[in-house]
Structure 1
């Protein structure tokens, strides 16, 4: 039997130790893999970078998701982990905006826990209800916490809603009511008088059939009022009295204003000054609009938009009655009138001069609010409104001047604005009467010669817009008969050359989004017209008729 030396024993022990270390390391690796696989998601979350996001930032992400998707799908975030759930339940902004619907397509169920999670934060409630349900009753009990309330309903359901409103809504600042018209149903002003709203600042009511035999009062703190009068009309005296009770009113919109035949109208003795008024928009029949305006004075800086109905049937021999307080206001501010946009019988006058391309921008609204808008025949406009300082004129593409029955009337209107330096033709249309502008309209406007009246002492005829310097054409087909049609461009060049020969030379022509047929056609036009041309290189555009349908 051999005996191992001490050195051999040491080597053997080291080998066994190395083997044990290898086995332990392998076991630890396998154990770590098993544990990491078996760990719950909530524990692995603690190790992830997501856990490092501050709670207030994560809450903002939740709120963003809530407003991106108004369905219940976003609530899945409360099921991700305990941390997310606790944060979501504690974020009141996720729960204080409630949209409720009870229609023939189904009804929204309101869970009391949803309302409780909003805690004491101000709420926004949007209710679309064509029937009264228990969930709606529960939601109405929370109106005292509402900051914004929107109601869309039928008149009969509205009566039930009114009966279940709390006696006070101290936080309510904005109320919008949309009534789906039901003929023969008359409502009163109970929803204003029965529920105290001391903080209400904005009130919009659409198609509500008022009982005008009752006193009509509005919260004195209103800064914005919008009323759409229904077909039965209104009691002008009560409406005027209600508006006179709004000392801090800034915005007033009255649509379909017309006087009911029941009460007699009382002429004003003292006019109220709406000191804070910034904008006013009124549509209705001319006598009723003027009668209403006769009761008020307001700052000259206020934006005023008037849309007068049935003006064709009004006696324009007495335009002083129609324009009333408007005419003197326009004369006072005549030096500010530098821009005019017209289409058919619609005229808009702007306080500020804007670059012509912006007049017909893609935006549905003009770049500057009209100081005055009046729908009336051009004859009344040209006689009674001071237009001498107008330097910018815009004509949308639905204007058909060359074959209109009142062409002499329009010509007289254009004669009264001889200082126009910038003329924009085409662009967005303001009505659906015509899908696009005929090129002949452009030729007629630029080529029409006015024969002077015998009383003026002038011997030669003159062109419209004698001071015209910049012509802007947009969204007009300049080759109406096809790609190789040069007829219109040739006629336009001849008109511009004739104007130049008579002393009315155009300095600049801008062509944008117009179908010109070909690049060769535009180059040929440049040579013939002898005018500087800025062209956006558009050769063909989508059919205007198709694009309007």
Structure 2
């Protein structure tokens, strides 16, 4: 293997280009003697340089220390770039070749057959860390190299496999793995490998005592084969939900329950679309205690998730991520009381950040919540470009395939009602479609601590309008309980909440709002009884500054349909103003999707795998 470098890593000098300049040529010599002297002179020069190399400080390091330096170099370099250090000098190369652990980390793709073979040979019996992506290619020659080395493999990650590799995978499963700690197996999303029988009672013949992390993607095996009692992380996912035809045995449910009961050390549990079909029926009544669990992610039919959650007993601090495939509104709602009971456990939490994504066209809804504000520090940096980091969200609840005709709006209101968001400070709403049926004032009535909000998409227009107190022309109750018409010019009435139900609805939401970001909105929109969106926003900003003495500090407007004249008018009502300068109609095709959504075929389950992948 030949590795070149733009810059020599050697601490020594290169040989002189003209050895004759070092040793003078004697006069009056024959051509034969001249050639012999030149050869001797070259050897002398090389001998002198070799001696000088041996005196360099770095050459005085013991081989163990130099090998340790190579390990640090290997950690910093990518794609085996550290190997160029073995081409500096004979001593360095010998130290690297003698340290088998330097060659034990093998990564890349299945096309590097010679490289992988050579590294396995140089690694000898050192604990292996293998990470190979087959990318849907055959690569059987490479895959066949690994089973014989499983006895001294510490981490094994194989991705992009297909049905062509099933026999070799079966061979891996049937071998002992006494040093294996981490095992990941991923099949391409166009394939599904189902093992109904692997010729034993447990994976790796029951000889994998150190196995702590098991990750299977698009691989279906009986739950009974998974090792008990030792796992700390278990991730199993499919890109479609299994049916009774995929798993004909009714024991499948009881095998899963038995597995979870006997894995009390689990810290992370991810089950994506692999829950047994029997969970949709009357659940098994056993309680499953997982006292160490810190992350739980379940994906599948809402009824299966609900019935499994009824059996689980988790720490109140556990992060909950649910991705539901909607069956009907009734089944979807049944999950909410179970979630509420978990959130209101012995140590109830209070969310400070909330994100809502509503997509009527895709019939999907996602709600994310966190106990901290975004890591980007929106309030400090005034940077609205960064949204919440999904990895840090303590709670995620999403529904795909919701029924049409507004049933999802009622579901959204119910979800927000069960969440502890009275101390909410950051709110992010994304809705690309027109959404007028959500009663935002009622949904966020208790969120008086919100200081930062970002609204993305035309569907958030109704929420932006809700930030403004409606015109005061309706009826209110006087002190004697009689109706009295309010005058638009009665500023004192506008500044005080009335005592009737209708007047209570006039109170503005988010009284402490200081930072507002608006994206992909059309300020000329006039599809609402409150009037043109620009007029409503302008009136709201003036109300907050004059009537309520709580002016908006920062306003961001990006990719919105708004004229320069109107943008300038809004600028006068806030302390700091940012506008990207775009005018005219909003390009509805520009960045029309959720910036955090996935466009691949794997959909929501694909997001689960990427979120919990440990590469």
- Using structure 1 for the length normalisation, give the TM-score: 0.74
Partner of 1:432: none
Partner of 1:242: 259
Q: How many Å apart are 1:63 and its aligned residue?
A: 3.7
Structure 1 distance, partners of 2:266, 2:273, is 20
Structure 2 distance, partners of 1:341, 1:268, is 34
Partner of 1:484: none
Structure 2 distance, partners of 1:386, 1:439, is 21
Q: Deviations over 1:410-450 (max 9, x none)?
A: 43643543524324114xx7xxxxxx558956642323649
Q: Aligned in 2, Cα 1:498/1:147: closer, same or farther, shift over 3 Å?
A: same
Partner of 2:30: none
Structure 2 distance, partners of 1:59, 1:394, is 52
Q: How many Å apart are 1:408 and its aligned residue?
A: 3.1
Partner of 2:324: 308
1:534 aligns with 2:576: yes
Partner of 2:425: 392
Q: How many Å apart are 1:141 and its aligned residue?
A: 0.7
Partner of 2:540: 495
Structure 1 distance, partners of 2:298, 2:22, is 82
Q: How many Å apart are 1:145 and its aligned residue?
A: 0.7
1:362 aligns with 2:390: no
Q: Which of the numbers 352, 355, 358 marks the counterpart of 1:341?
A: 355
Q: How many Å apart are 1:219 and its aligned residue?
A: 3.5
Provide the secondary structure at the position in 1 that maps to 2:186: strand
Partner of 1:210: 221
Partner of 1:380: 411
Matched-pair contact (CA < 8 Å) for 2:235–2:269: yes
Provide the secondary structure at the position in 1 that maps to 2:539: helix
Q: How many Å apart are 1:121 and its aligned residue?
A: 2.9
Q: Deviations over 1:329-387 (max 9, x none)?
A: 33446662443221213222333456654895637615842235354834234345155
Q: Aligned in 2, Cα 1:536/1:466: closer, same or farther, shift over 3 Å?
A: closer
Partner of 2:440: 411
Larger Rg: 1
Provide the secondary structure at the position in 1 that maps to 2:179: coil
Q: How many Å apart are 1:55 and its aligned residue?
A: 4.8
Provide the secondary structure at the position in 2 that maps to 1:109: helix
Question: 1:443-458 counterparts in 2 under 5 A?
Answer: 443-447=464-468, 449=470, 457-458=500-501
Q: Aligned in 2, Cα 1:38/1:414: closer, same or farther, shift over 3 Å?
A: same
Partner of 1:424: 453
Provide the secondary structure at the position in 1 that maps to 2:235: strand
Provide the secondary structure at the position in 2 that maps to 1:308: strand
Partner of 1:46: 54
Q: Deviations over 1:16-51 (max 9, x none)?
A: xxxxxxxxxx998748x9669832564453355653
Structure 2 distance, partners of 1:400, 1:464, is 27
Q: Aligned in 2, Cα 1:94/1:216: closer, same or farther, shift over 3 Å?
A: closer
Matched-pair contact (CA < 8 Å) for 2:289–2:312: yes
Q: How many Å apart are 1:173 and its aligned residue?
A: 0.8
Provide the secondary structure at the position in 1 that maps to 2:501: coil
Partner of 1:328: 341
Structure 2 distance, partners of 1:315, 1:180, is 35
Provide the secondary structure at the position in 2 that maps to 1:269: coil
Matched-pair contact (CA < 8 Å) for 1:97–1:125: yes
Matched-pair contact (CA < 8 Å) for 1:335–1:389: no
Structure 2 distance, partners of 1:440, 1:289, is 33
Partner of 2:163: 155
Q: Aligned in 2, Cα 1:438/1:100: closer, same or farther, shift over 3 Å?
A: closer
Q: How many Å apart are 1:273 and its aligned residue?
A: 1.3
Partner of 2:285: 269
Matched-pair contact (CA < 8 Å) for 2:293–2:315: yes
Q: Which of the numbers 132, 137, 146 marks the counterpart of 1:139?
A: 146
Q: Aligned in 2, Cα 1:185/1:369: closer, same or farther, shift over 3 Å?
A: closer
Partner of 2:231: 222
Structure 2 distance, partners of 1:173, 1:421, is 45
Structure 2 distance, partners of 1:412, 1:518, is 29
Q: How many Å apart are 1:252 and its aligned residue?
A: 0.6
Partner of 1:251: 268
Provide the secondary structure at the position in 2 that maps to 1:142: helix
1:196 aligns with 2:207: yes
Partner of 2:610: none
Q: Aligned in 2, Cα 1:339/1:186: closer, same or farther, shift over 3 Å?
A: closer
Partner of 2:242: 232
Q: Aligned in 2, Cα 1:351/1:189: closer, same or farther, shift over 3 Å?
A: farther
Provide the secondary structure at the position in 1 that maps to 2:220: coil
Q: How many Å apart are 1:296 and its aligned residue?
A: 1.3
Question: 1:97-116 counterparts in 2 under 5 A?
Answer: 97-99=105-107, 101-102=109-110, 106=111, 108-109=113-114, 114-116=119-121
Structure 1 distance, partners of 2:566, 2:441, is 35
Q: Indicate the RMSD between aligned Cα atoms, in angstroms.
A: 4.5
Q: How many Å apart are 1:100 and its aligned residue?
A: 6.4
Q: How many Å apart are 1:249 and its aligned residue?
A: 0.5
Structure 2 distance, partners of 1:467, 1:292, is 37
More deviation in 292-301 or 487-496? 487-496
Q: Aligned in 2, Cα 1:58/1:424: closer, same or farther, shift over 3 Å?
A: farther
Structure 2 distance, partners of 1:335, 1:68, is 40
Provide the secondary structure at the position in 1 that maps to 2:277: coil
5+ residue gaps, structure 2: 1-19, 26-37, 359-364, 403-407, 482-498, 525-531, 594-615
5+ residue gaps, structure 1: 1-25, 430-435, 482-486
Partner of 2:516: 473
Q: How many Å apart are 1:292 and its aligned residue?
A: 1.1
